[in-house]
């Protein structure tokens, strides 16, 4: 009896010591080792506080910077949205190290190094940090956006065919149908005597409708219900993430954690219902494919690989496409409309191009490539207001990047917004709306990265551009618009760049 008790005690103490060592190593020893390696190379930065690092400095700088609206509609927004970047890069130089809690982050703005870092050379030995994975675990799990290494490589190859060639083109129909519905509801609003709309809200609803239909085809009503829940889940997770820098906080049975658990369960139960009914159709011989929507293509791809379906992965991918694919595109459109409303000359130019290409007919997918001015406006909107303001990547191995030695475990943060607004890279008019700068296709690589670059770039990039072109073309043919006096220019970053109070436009119907 005594021997058993002693053995159990030894095992318990060993496990306890191991957990203690791992925690200290993760939260203290490794970050300090990284700090020393970077300091030896001349890279330093603001002094971190215990456990919270520089989070409090960033929070107070940002909240001061965004406490007031901007006085005019101008696009000089780096100091407002990334004041910590501006302050620290002035003080410590172009490369500096700051701390998100206990995670050291290297801020990198050198475009040649960024291009190399995002290239195929490092695509499987860099990826998402465990903090990022933890923060998004409940609403997207280990889908493509958060996968790493071989797992990421495998998923990327499985998912990519759903975003290419004829498969991609087949989604255009959903985009057109959903936009027609949006136009109808805007016309109803105008007929009721109201002329002002908050266009951001309309685009969020529209892009959510489009992704629900592309993902779930005929089951899209249920898809919409799932995505509504997922949006709530995401905002709960964002609130909870603020506490994640404290070790073990995710295990606390607090209000957030309980709510997150039960919402996640409900989302997965509803997703599973759709997946099971597809499986039943195939297994009972009523259909020989899982369907030609995104979910069906994904199920087919997984089945092709032999073996059974990994249902958790399918669910994570469905959630990932929704998360990554609808708000980003809605924001691109919202800012593009704000810019076109305040630049009527460009609004007219793009409308004339749409008229010339489609001659009043519904946009056809094969003609979209002729919308060159429209594409230039889309690019300029994403340059000034890139939905993803920063690109995070962690090194899982030691890397030699130009003259920099990047130690294993260091997170690299690429401030996309600052790069897109850099006068050094874009010239004196970097903060001005000038789509003309995209007229020439040959511009310095690495300075325009709204979709990241390299093999781990946005898999839905062509989907997003096709969607944006269709929606812009259809709306511009139906309405002209000006910016409302109620619009308050106040961009803020909450994961992505958003207009704090929305974008209010005055719409005028055009003759068909
Ligand atoms: C204007 C719209 C969009 C923008 C600006 C955008 C931007 C980005 C960026 C910057 C990344 C890299 C993120 C990182 O590695 O940290 C990314 C990845 C991703 N995007 Fe998009 N995206 C857009 C639309 C879409 C759409 C429509 C979909 C799908 C329907 C989508 C699905 C994804 C996925 C799955 C990834 C992860 C790819 C990987 O890691 O291999 N995105 N996106």
Please state the atom number of ligand 1 nearest to the C-alpha of residue 467. 27
Pairing of strands 196-198, 504-509: antiparallel
In-domain check, residue 454: yes
Q: Please, are residues 373 and 351 in contact by the beta-carbon 8 Å criterion?
A: no
Residue 232 CB burial class (10 angstroms; 0-12, 13-18, ≥19): middle
Whole-angstrom distance, CA of residue 322 vs CA of residue 209: 10
- Among 156, 162, 324, the mutation site with the greatest number of ligand 1 atoms within 8 A of its Cβ is 324
pLDDT at 249: 61
Over residues 166-209, the pLDDT tens digits come to: 989 999 999 999 999 999 999 999 999 999 999 999 999 999 99
pLDDT at 288: 76
Residue 422 backbone dihedrals phi, psi, to 5 degrees:
-70, 125
Tell me whether residue 107 is annotated as binding.
no
In-domain check, residue 403: no
In-domain check, residue 71: no
Report how many domains make up the chain: 1
Whole-angstrom distance, CA of residue 390 vs CA of residue 227: 25
Q: Please, are residues 349 and 447 in contact by the beta-carbon 8 Å criterion?
A: no
Higher pLDDT, 15 or 455: 455
Whole-angstrom distance, CA of residue 175 vs CA of residue 473: 12
In-domain check, residue 409: no
- Can you state the percent helix, strand and coil of the chain, rounding each to 5? 60, 10, 30
Checking if the pLDDT of 316 tops 60, the result is: yes
* Residues pairing with 395 in the sheet: 126
Q: Where residue 11 falls among pLDDT bands split at 50, 70, 90?
A: confident
**Residue 144 C-alpha to ligand 1 middle, in angstroms?**
10
Q: What is the H or E stretch that residue 440 is in?
A: none
| Six-digit token string for 259 | 């709510």
Average pLDDT over residues 385-398: 95
Q: What is the H or E stretch that residue 506 is in?
A: strand 504-509
Checking if the pLDDT of 218 tops 70, the result is: no
In-domain check, residue 88: no
* DSSP 3-state of 429: coil
* Residues pairing with 106 in the sheet: 97, 412
| Six-digit token string for 391 | 């690109």
Average pLDDT over residues 347-369: 95
Q: What is the H or E stretch that residue 379 is in?
A: helix 372-384
Q: What is the residue whose two structure tokens read 């991609």?
A: 168
Average pLDDT over residues 315-326: 89
Q: Where residue 443 falls among pLDDT bands split at 50, 70, 90?
A: low
- Among 460, 463, 470, 498, the mutation site with the greatest number of ligand 1 atoms within 8 A of its Cβ is 460
* Residues pairing with 53 in the sheet: 49, 100
pLDDT at 147: 94
Please state the atom number of ligand 1 nearest to the C-alpha of residue 156. 41
Residue 223 CB burial class (10 angstroms; 0-12, 13-18, ≥19): buried
| Six-digit token string for 39 | 């300091």
Task: List residues near ligand 1 (CB under 6 A).
Answer: 144-145, 156, 320-321, 324-325, 328-329, 332, 387-388, 391-392, 450-452, 456, 458-460, 463-464
**Residue 439 C-alpha to ligand 1 middle, in angstroms?**
24
Checking if the pLDDT of 363 tops 80, the result is: yes
Residue 405 backbone dihedrals phi, psi, to 5 degrees:
-95, 120
Q: DSSP code of 460?
A: T
One DSSP character per residue, 114-160 reads HHHHTSGGGTTTEE--HHHHHHHHHHHTTSGGG--HHHHHHHHHHHG
Helix residue spans in 192-310 (DSSP H)? 199-216, 220-241, 255-283, 294-304
Residue 218 CB burial class (10 angstroms; 0-12, 13-18, ≥19): exposed
In-domain check, residue 472: yes
Checking if the pLDDT of 10 tops 90, the result is: no
Q: What is the residue whose two structure tokens read 């219902």?
A: 273
**Residue 325 C-alpha to ligand 1 middle, in angstroms?**
7
| Six-digit token string for 194 | 């109201």
**Residue 81 C-alpha to ligand 1 middle, in angstroms?**
21
Residue 396 backbone dihedrals phi, psi, to 5 degrees:
-95, -5
* Residues pairing with 508 in the sheet: 480
CA angle, 162 as apex, 160 and 164 as ends, to 5°? 75
Residue with CA closest to ligand 1 atom 25:
325
Q: Please, are residues 104 and 406 in contact by the beta-carbon 8 Å criterion?
A: no
> Distance between alpha carbon 299 and the CA centroid of its chain, in Å?
24
In-domain check, residue 210: yes
The pTM of this model reads 0.92
Q: Please, are residues 487 and 504 in contact by the beta-carbon 8 Å criterion?
A: yes
Residue with CA closest to ligand 1 atom 6:
451
Q: Which of 24, 41, 66 has the alpha carbon at shortest distance from 492?
A: 66
pLDDT at 442: 67
Q: Which domain holds residue 500?
A: 127-394+422-509
* Residues pairing with 107 in the sheet: 96, 413
In-domain check, residue 411: no
Please state the atom number of ligand 1 nearest to the C-alpha of residue 155. 41
Residue with CA closest to ligand 1 atom 14:
391
Identify the CATH number of the domain in which residue 166 sits.
Answer: 1.10.630.10
| ipTM for the complex shown | 0.99
pLDDT at 379: 96
pLDDT at 500: 96
């Amino acid at each position: 009896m005594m021997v058993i008790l002693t053995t159990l005690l030894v095992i318990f103490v060993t496990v306890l010591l191991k957990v203690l060592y791992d925690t200290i190593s993760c939260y203290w020893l490794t970050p300090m080792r990284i700090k020393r390696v970077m300091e030896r190379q001349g890279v330093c930065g603001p002094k971190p506080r215990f456990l919270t690092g520089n989070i409090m400095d960033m929070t107070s700088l940002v909240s001061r910077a965004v406490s007031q609206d901007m006085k005019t509609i101008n696009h000089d927004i780096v100091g407002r949205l990334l004041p910590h970047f501006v302050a620290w890069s002035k003080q410590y130089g172009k490369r500096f190290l700051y701390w998100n809690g206990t995670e050291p982050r290297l801020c990198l703005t050198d475009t040649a190094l960024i291009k190399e870092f995002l290239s195929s050379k490092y695509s499987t030995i860099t990826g998402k940090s465990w903090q990022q994975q933890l923060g998004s675990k409940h609403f997207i799990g280990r889908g493509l956006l958060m996968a790493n290494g071989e797992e990421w490589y495998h998923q990327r190859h499985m998912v990519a065919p759903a975003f290419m060639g004829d498969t991609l083109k087949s989604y255009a129909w959903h985009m057109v149908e959903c936009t027609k519905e949006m136009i109808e509801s805007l016309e109803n609003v105008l007929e009721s005597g109201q002329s002002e709309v908050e266009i951001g809200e309309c685009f969020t609803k529209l892009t959510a409708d489009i992704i629900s239909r592309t993902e779930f085809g005929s089951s899209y009503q249920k898809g919409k219900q799932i995505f509504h829940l997922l949006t709530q889940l995401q905002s709960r997770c964002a609130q909870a993430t603020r506490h994640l820098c404290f070790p073990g906080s995710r295990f606390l049975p607090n209000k957030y954690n309980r709510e997150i658990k039960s919402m996640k369960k409900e989302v997965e139960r509803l997703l599973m219902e759709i997946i099971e009914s597809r499986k039943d159709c195939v297994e009972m011989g009523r259909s020989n494919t899982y369907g030609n929507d995104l979910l069906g293509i994904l199920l087919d791809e997984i089945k092709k690989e032999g073996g059974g379906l990994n249902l958790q992965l399918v669910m994570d991918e469905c959630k990932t496409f929704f998360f990554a694919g609808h708000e980003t595109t809605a924001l691109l459109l919202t800012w593009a409309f704000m810019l076109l409303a305040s630049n009527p000359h460009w609004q007219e130019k793009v409308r004339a191009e749409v008229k010339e290409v489609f001659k009043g007919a519904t946009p056809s997918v094969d003609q979209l490539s002729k919308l060159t001015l429209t594409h230039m406006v889309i690019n300029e909107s994403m340059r000034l207001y890139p939905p993803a303001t920063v690109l995070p990547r962690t090194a899982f191995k030691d890397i030699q990047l130009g003259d920099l030695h990047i130690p294993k475990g260091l997170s690299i943060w690429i401030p996309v917004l600052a790069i897109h607004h850099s006068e050094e890279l874009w010239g004196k008019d970097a903060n001005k709306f000038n789509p003309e700068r995209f007229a020439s296709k040959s511009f310095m690589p690495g300075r325009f990265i709204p979709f990241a670059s390299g093999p781990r770039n946005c898999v839905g990039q062509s989907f997003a551009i096709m969607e944006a072109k269709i929606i812009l073309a259809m709306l511009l043919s139906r309405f002209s618009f000006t910016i409302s006096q109620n619009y308050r220019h106040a961009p803020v970053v909450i994961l992505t760049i958003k207009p704090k109070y929305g974008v209010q436009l005055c719409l005028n119907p055009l003759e068909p």
